[in-house]
A and B are shown apart, each in its own frame.
Chain A
Amino acid sequence: MNKTDLEKEFLEMVHTNKGIIYKVISFYVDEYSSWEDLYQDVILNLWKSFPNFKKESLLSTWIYRITLNTCISFFRKDKKKPIHVELSIDVKEYCEDDEDIQELYNLIGKLGKLDRALILLYLEDRPYKEIGEIMGITPTNVSTKISRIKEKLKQMSNY
């Protein structure tokens, strides 16, 4: 497959799965990383590993894994923007649709990065086996951890 075909296929894939990418990023935007930084890094990482993606696992598993790995590894020490490509993203748009979801976003901001990943995959209704594959833990562990995070969120929302 030549580069143009590969790029075309990649663009189609990103377009079809943009919902996944946006949702993951929305969970990790914080004082150290902006939408633009994360989005660009995610696209680049997806692009770099796209030729190596073997259809042994689900496409969604692959996208979740790369996107989450990119977001959790983002660790900028200063707020200088090294880049370049301005994105037309209205950050407010994604959290103004429902009060509960807005509250959820407020609470997940207080959770650790791994817990955030688990909650996101849970909300996305991914099977425990797939969550385990993405996270690198067993399905039993996924279940235990999700129950614990649910409890944690419940307690946090009561305060």
Chain B
Amino acid sequence: MELDDIKKVWQVKKTFNIQTDEGMIKKILEVQNQTVLSKLVKYIKWEAIMLIAALTLFCNLPTPQSFIKAGGIYLFWIMLYVVFCIGGIVESIYKYKYISRINFLTMGVKDVYNKLSKYYNYMEKWRLYGVIGLIIYLGIFFYLDSLLKKWALIDNGYLLIFLIAVISVGAWVAWLMIGRTMKMTNVIRQNLKEIEEFQKESDE
């Protein structure tokens, strides 16, 4: 297949019979659905709001309060949560700035593709790490809580059931996340490889 021959055919024959009327475009403008970029910005804003809410709420709950009073490793575990939340909020601001800088009007296709692929790659990777980290964190949190309140003295049977339930839900969530993430990271990896090759050729 010679592309130059196809080009001639394309120029002459390539017409589209698709009908789009003004009413349809007006409807799109009226509905004002969000574009890919505005959805990303909205998601980042929600993420920051949720982190602030989670930070405020969690630190005022009775169990974390008892951890703060107990001091030592308990206090450290709560501080770790605070650091994680504040870090998450700072990260959201950074992500917001990163996405806001992407401008379809002024930036070339290569740069937009590069920036977005890197962003998606980062998000997919850290979302998985985040969920795994949260499961581990909560597991240790409940373990420390059991030590503090001497759960074992209450009923070993209930404690066992509780642990099995937490581990099962955690494993199920992780399994779902890993499957989905693997699929998406493969696509993103291909995109990044393409950009790398494209860039390499440009440098040559």
Contact = CB atoms under 8 A, between A and B. Distances in A.
A66 interface: yes
Interface string B83-121: 000000000000000000000110111111100100010
B109 A72 contact: yes
A70 B17 CA distance: 22
Contact of A87 (B24, B33, B107, B191): B24
Using C-beta atoms within 8 Å of the partner chain, give the interface range for chain A.
Answer: 35 or more
Interface in A75-91: 75, 77, 82-85, 87-90
B19 A88 contact: yes
A113 B117 CA distance: 11
Contacts of B109: 65, 68-69, 72, 114, 117, 134-136
A129 interface: no
B28 A73 contact: no
Contacts of B19: 88
B107 A69 contact: yes
A15 B22 contact: yes
A157 B29 CA distance: 41
B113 A157 contact: no
B5 A100 contact: yes
B3 interface: yes
Nearest to A111: B194
Interface string A116-158: 0101001111000000011111100100110011100110010
Contacts of B156: none
Q: Is the interface of B mostly helix, strand, loop or mixed?
A: helix
A29 interface: no
B184 interface: yes
A153 B36 contact: no
Interface residues of B, number: 53
A9 to B, nearest CB: 12
Interface string B169-204: 000000000001000100100110011001001100
A73 B1 contact: no
Contacts of B7: 122-123, 125
Contacts of A19: 15-16
Interface of B: 1-7, 9-11, 13-20, 22, 24-29, 31-37, 104-105, 107-113, 116, 120, 180, 184, 187, 190-191, 194-195, 198, 201-202
Given A112-B198, A115-B194, 14 more contacts: A11-B22, A41-B35, A43-B28, A65-B109, A66-B105, A83-B31, A83-B33, A87-B20, A87-B24, A93-B16, A104-B1, A112-B191, A134-B109, A141-B202
Interface of A: 7, 11, 14-15, 18-19, 22-23, 26, 32, 39-41, 43-45, 47-49, 52-53, 62, 65-66, 68-70, 72-75, 77, 82-85, 87-90, 93-94, 97-98, 100-101, 103-104, 107, 112-115, 117, 119, 122-125, 133-138, 141, 144-145, 148-150, 153-154, 157
14 contacts: A18-B18, A41-B33, A65-B109, A66-B105, A69-B112, A85-B24, A85-B31, A94-B16, A103-B1, A125-B11, A136-B107, A137-B108, A154-B1, A154-B2
